[in-house]
Structures are given as structure tokens and as C-alpha cells.
Amino acid sequence: MARPLRGACSLGRFLLEPEGRWGGLVRTTSQFHDFSSGGRTRSASDGRESNEENVSKKDLALQQALDQITSSFGKGSIMWLGRCVSHRQVPVISTGSFALDMALGIGGLPKGRVVEIFGPEASGKTTLALHVIAEAQKQG
């Protein structure tokens, strides 16, 4: 591993030396060209307009989807991650795991809602479901 690094250092010195030492093979660093900008060039206005159209189409599609979900399932059916306007008091059933209850954000699984538990084999889905059932039976 040390050999390629040593070679890279000497190559760097070779490329960056002033012309006096190497006889004008490489004069200055200003001779290096950036070839990454090759290809088709687009006018700036074309890119902005198409980008704005895509954004507005995405916003429109998102708003339509949100409206459809809200009309089908009622207000409060959409929960935004990281946005908590007001803490609503929702009746919950504890999962039996304090850490999971805190991660869910409301202290457990909400009563009266469909909750899907999924994951790979042997990850504890059935155990979690049985703990939730036991907690529900304790509450009555």
C-alpha cells in the first residue's frame, strides 16, 4: 500500500513543478483542463421551466393523494414525521416494551386503529402481538 502512495506523491511533484526543473514538459497547473463539462448544453431557462413543472406536478399529485386519504379515512389519519402541532390524547395500548412505546411517540398502539406489524422471520412479531394482547386484557 505504501508504494502506490509514494508513487503518487512523486507524480504530483512531477506534474506541479515549474518549467525550469523539467525542461518545459509541464509548465504550470493552469494547463490542466476539465473535460467533465462536455456533452450537450442546455439553456438555463429550459432547465428551470421543466424543473418548476415537475415540482408543481409533484405538489399537485401529493395534495390530491392527501385529500383522498383525508376524505376516505378522516382528519388525523395522516401523521407527519417530526411534526407535532398538538399532542392529542389518544387512547393507547402499551406494547409491553417501554422503548418501543416511546419510539411510537404516543406511548403504545392506538386503540381502534389497524396496526400492521411486519418484519423478517424470527424478529419477534408474534411475541409483540401476544404482549399487546396481554396488555389489552389487563386493561379490560
Q: What is the pLDDT of residue 27?
A: 45
Q: What is the pLDDT of residue 77?
A: 80
Query: Of the candidates 74, 110, 108, which has an alpha carbon nearest to the alpha carbon of residue 90?
Result: 110
- How many Å apart are CA 4 and CA 73, to the nearest integer? 63
Q: Model confidence over 4-50: pLDDT tens digits?
A: 444 444 445 544 455 444 444 444 444 444 445 455 555 555 555 66
Q: Does the pLDDT of residue 86 top 80, yes or no?
A: no
- How many Å apart are CA 74 and CA 101, to the nearest integer? 24
Q: Model confidence over 42-85: pLDDT tens digits?
A: 555 555 566 777 778 999 999 999 999 999 988 878 877 777 65
Q: What is the pLDDT of residue 75?
A: 82
Q: What is the pTM of this model?
A: 0.41
Q: Is 101 exposed, middle or buried (0-12, 13-18, 19+ CB in 10 A)?
A: middle
Q: Which residues pair with 92 in a beta bridge?
A: 110
Q: Does the pLDDT of residue 102 top 70, yes or no?
A: yes
